Amino acid sequence: MPGTTQELYKAYCDLMQKAADINYASAVLSWDQETYMPPKGAEARGRQLSTLAGQAHEILTSDKFGALLKELSAKSDLSDTEKSNVRLSLEDFEKNKKLTPAFVEQMSLQISECFNAWIEARKKNDFNVFAPSLTKMVALKRQQAELYGYKAHPYDALLDEYEKDATVAMLDPIFTGIKEQIPPILAKINAAQQVDDSFFYNHFPRQQQWDFSLEVLKRMGFDFEAGRQDYSEHPFTTSFAASDVRLTTRVDESNYTSMLWSCIHEGGHGLYEQGLPESQYGFPLGSPTSLGIHESQSRFWENCVGRGLDFWSFFFPKLQSIFPEQLGNVTAEAFFKASNKVEPSLIRTEADEVTYHFHVMIRYEIEKELIQGTLGVKDLPAKWNELYNKYLGVTPPDDKSGVLQDVHWSHGSFGYFPTYTLGSFYAAQFYAKAQSDIPGLLEKIASGEMTELLHWLHEKVHKHGRRYTSEELCERITGHKLDTSFFIRYILDKYKNVYGI
């Protein structure tokens, strides 16, 4: 093995980037699986993804790689960037080493099986089609939690996959706060006159929606020379490098909001991926901080910016010219109010900012019980419907609008959902700081000028990769650790203008 520090670091770089190449090749296949792959390709695709997952895991858990990391971590002549990469890679190594190659390949195969079962179940609107595959997935996730190890709750081991240091003990008080602080706000809104959003539910041709979404994304700063947008069953963003970022969306010609908000939301994710340092391809400092911070970027653009009156002061005349029959008698203010209508609903991705966190909390409570073993997969639909009735006062009429609506469980993404709420809270805190740091920010947004805002996000959030934890990054940006009062003030300020509360 090479002896000098720089020779050792180069050997580290070669292994990391080789594994990244494999993982990103796998990501291309996963993206294709959800966008263009013909149905009969499912079995072969599952095999391909399993093989690649095993190869990448083998590189990053080999004894050779572990010895290299330990030798490098003892070196004193690495740069700060190199030290951070090695430190984080060693943490990842020690965690990945807990999973055997056989388990990784088994999980990859199960994800492919589970995803295809979910697609079929949604087509048939029948949870029972999905249940057998999901049962096997939950068993594997319980096994994964045991392999990783945990101090208090098995769900903690899975939470840490998406939000480092997140635990049930940390999240329970946050969701308790939601149950205490949001209902009084909802009560005031419910007592006010409801806003009219009926104009959203006309016929909006697919291509015109698509074309306008591209214009919005370009104005936000999404680089279409380094990315693209396509259709999928469930909107998502994936990246193969900062120079190749893929957004997906879905279209409902009878509901304009379905595509609009998912495009802006996924655009926020995409801007984060494009803002990561290309020089750190394959390394921790070229990767997002966490899923909570990633979600802060999508919620920042979708809600703080995209659902703001200033945003629509600029965009609404353009939208109105595209859909004169549907929106000709609507004002920008009416469009803004309709975009922020608060009403209990069935679909998480289409929920308003206030009730959204009950959707997340329901999934959080269900996941805790599934991983702990106190809830069985066969009982999921009944439990789902019970919690929706309890927290939102609505009951899904069928499985597709209920327990089958999210893709996450088919991907094995248990522990992901809480990051949506964390992301919303981080977003509100970042948005308050951005307004403080950028003179006349709202006026700039109203003129369609968002370059300075994107630069602010790039400097404050994107360029750091995983150098800091979420809490460290938040404190570095705002001077405070995560503080939910920023979110409460944000929604009170917004809904004062919508409902007069």
Catalytically active residues are 266
Check: CB of residue 224 under 8 Å from CB of residue 218: yes
The closest alpha carbon to 42, from 117, 106, 127, belongs to 117
Question: Alpha-carbon dihedral of residues 482, 487, 493, 497, nearest 10 degrees?
Answer: 150
CA distance 178 to 7: 52
Burial class (CB within 10 angstroms; exposed 0-12, middle 13-18, buried 19+) of 278: exposed
The label of the residue with tokens 């249940």 reads 131
CA distance 445 to 312: 9
The closest alpha carbon to 240, from 252, 230, 228, belongs to 228
Check: CB of residue 142 under 8 Å from CB of residue 373: yes
Query: How remote is the C-alpha of 99 from its chain's centroid?
Result: 24
CA distance 209 to 211: 6
Check: CB of residue 365 under 8 Å from CB of residue 344: no
Letter for the amino acid at 55? Q
The closest alpha carbon to 16, from 107, 108, 85, 105, belongs to 85
CA distances from 246 to 23, 130, 240 (A): 15, 27, 8
Q: Which two tokens stand for residue 500?
A: 């007069």
Interior angle at CA 429, CA 424 and CA 434, nearest 5: 120
Exposure string over 420-440, b if 16+ CB within 10 A, otherwise e:
bbbbbbbbbbbbbbbeeeeee
CA distance 145 to 153: 9
CA distances from 384 to 138, 144, 362, 368, 369 (A): 16, 24, 7, 13, 12
CA distance 279 to 281: 6
Burial class (CB within 10 angstroms; exposed 0-12, middle 13-18, buried 19+) of 83: middle
